[in-house]
Amino acid sequence: MKRPPLIARPVGALGSTTLDAVAGMGRFGGFLLQTIRALLDVKTWGPLLIFQMRRLGVDSLPIALFLASFTGIVLALQASYTFTGAIPLYFVGTLVGKTMILELGPVLTGLALSGRVGASIAAELGTMRVSEQIDALETLAYDPISYLVVPRVLAGVLTFPIIVMFANVIGILSGWGTAINLLDMSTEEFVRGLRLFFQPFDITYSIIKTTSFGFIVTIVGCFQGFTTLGGAEGVGVATTRAVVISSMLILVLDAFWAVLLL
Amino acid sequence: MSIELVDIHKAFGNKQVLRGFSLEVPDGETTSLVGFSGAGKSVTLKHIVGLLEPDKGTVHVDGQEVPTLSREQLYELRRQVGYVFQFAALFDSMTIAENLAMGLRKQGGFSEDDIRERIAESLRLVELEGFENRLPAELSGGQRKRAGLARAIAFRPKYLLYDEPTSGLDPVTTTVIDRLILKMKKELGVTSLVITHDMSSAYRVSDRIAMLYEGRVLESGTPDEIRGTENLIVRGFVEGKPELVESGEEPRREGAQRG
């Protein structure tokens, strides 16, 4: 076949990339619809939900709390450094509380969990795909979406907000510990700052964000795992894609919720 | 009731794998489908249980037209068909007993005692007694294949599909698997389709053998008829002689160029 002229090749490459992207979105849309339909198959996913909640949620707590505790320390120190001489120091409490609840708690935990949870789902389901275990489920009359995808997605949606609430508390506690030990602040000052601009909606906002992050991380991981092609290399590609795409979508959603709700 | 594939066409992207493939697997018999690696044998098998849909043509199993079945009807049909995967496809995270219990639990109507009994009986049939609590990773290749077979027969299907049951096994284990295939037919009365490229195995287990070549059945017959075939491509394949295959392909190529 005659090759296209040099100048037309980038246009061709752009066209083919666009077509691939549109086809990928179409496949993802179909996968999403199948997942929604599989929600009705409670008999299949119901018994697996608690196990997945423990695996994806409870087992992720240590990493989320580790991140949050160091974030709290840094937030308190940076706030004090920025405010010195200009703003009363009790605003350290305000900044630590607001930033943890509204932004860093949900986003940092979401990004960490996209690495831990999203990657593990994509690798596990990808391996099941290439070793025909997903086909085997089908031949045993199980709907693989009900059996593998729904419990993971629901576990993510239900447990991510709980993890992030714990992370927020630990972040604020570590900020408080830093304030009273390393900065010239008392507990009363820190709490005064913390309560100053606090609104119950902050918690709602944090929960809405993290619920959407839980959904994105798990559904992207499942989709990448299900569409894995080839052998070990394909599993590696799917895992990397799951982490990259869900991390990007977390940042996009973060901006989306800020524009919509703040 | 039997398995019948009628004029199946299937392509993946630009690659046309099946081009008018037709085959009937008679009731109570074992048919082997042989052919070169990459010829589309496993693709054919996946059409029978609806894991793949044909671009054109149809598949009848147990009197039902597979591509037209609803999801629920397809799952109902799959309870009649046991599928033995090439690499067993056992669920890694489960013990062998849990693997076998999956199909039984889905089928319903079994108490936990019935399930335990059925698992033990199925493992005995494939000579894996006492392996209930082992994980797939703790088994050898041959044992894994037998465990895969035990899972496929646990719910006593009418039909058994074997995807390369002896590939990668040593000659002794191959014979053990072949005997198991014959045993399944004798003791469970199943209708079987075996995908293989191992001719000695095909001769041992089959009532009929069909050869898949360039997307359709090139020749089919009893093992003796296949042994005595005049078709150069089939002879080249069954005798393992590439020069015969080439001689058989030449006139086809010339015909294609002329036509």
Is the per-residue pLDDT at A141 higher than 80? yes
Q: How confident is the model at residue B248 (pLDDT cuts 50, 70, 90)?
A: confident
Residue A141 C-alpha, separation from nearest chain B C-alpha, in angstroms: 5
Q: How confident is the model at residue A37 (pLDDT cuts 50, 70, 90)?
A: very high
SS3 A131: coil
Beta-strand pair B81-84/B3-12: unpaired
Interface contact B87-A133, CB threshold 8 A: no
The pLDDT-based confidence of B258 (bands split at 50, 70, 90) is: low
B107–A contact, CB cutoff 8 A: yes
pLDDT greater at residue A87 or residue A227: A227
Nearest CB among A127, A132, A140 relative to B106 is that of: A140
pLDDT band at B47 (very low <50, low <70, confident <90, very high): very high
pTM for this model (two decimals) = 0.88
Average of per-residue pLDDT values in chain B: 91
Residue of chain A whose Cα is closest to the Cα of B90: A133
Bridge partners (DSSP) of residue B191 are: B159
With an 8 Å Cβ cutoff, are B51 and A141 in contact? no
Q: What is the pLDDT of residue B108?
A: 83
Give the pLDDT confidence score for residue A155 in this predicted structure. 97
Tell me the CA distances in angstroms from A89 to A79, A172, A194, one per residue in order.
8, 16, 11
Q: What percentage of chain A exceeds 70 in pLDDT? A: 99
The answer, yes or no, to whether residue A125 has pLDDT greater than 90, is yes
**pLDDT per position as a tens digit, A199-238:** 999 999 999 999 999 999 999 999 999 999 988 999 999 9
| Angle at CA of residue B178, ends B175 and B181, nearest 5° | 155
Q: Does B87 touch chain A (CB under 8 A)?
A: yes
**Mean pLDDT confidence for B226-255:** 84
Closest chain B residue by Cα to residue A141: B75
pLDDT of residue B202: 93
Provide the pairing of β-strand B159-163 with B81-84.
parallel
Q: Which of residues 209-248 of B touch A (CB under 8 A)?
A: none
Instruction: For residue B156, give every residue at least 6 positions away whose Cβ sits within 8 Å of its Cβ, in sequence order, or none.
Output: B188
Question: What's the whole-number average pLDDT of chain A?
Answer: 93
Could you count the other beta carbons within 10 Å of the beta carbon of residue B233? Answer: 21
Residue B1 has a pLDDT of 59
The string of pLDDT tens digits covering residues B117-165 is: 999 999 998 889 999 999 999 999 889 999 999 999 998 999 999 999 8
Chain B, residues 30-49, CB within 8 A of chain A, namely 46, 49
- Taking the C-alpha atoms of residue B64 and residue B17, their distance in angstroms, rounded to an integer, is 24
The confidence score (pLDDT) of residue B259 equals: 56
**pLDDT value for A102:** 95
Query: Do A132 and B87 meet the contact criterion of CB atoms below 8 Å apart?
Result: yes
pLDDT, tens digit, for every residue of B63-101? 999 999 998 999 999 999 999 999 999 999 999 999 999
Give the model's pLDDT for residue A230: 85
Least confident interval from A43-47, A57-61, B236-240: B236-240
Q: Which of B75, B79, B89 sits opposite A131 (nearest CB)?
A: B89
Q: Which residue has the tokens 């697997």?
A: B25
Residue A180 exposed, middle or buried by CB count within 10 Å (0-12, 13-18, 19+) = middle
Q: Alpha-carbon distance B189 to B258, whole Å?
A: 49
Predicted confidence at residue B180, as pLDDT, reads 87
| pLDDT higher at B60 or A17 | B60
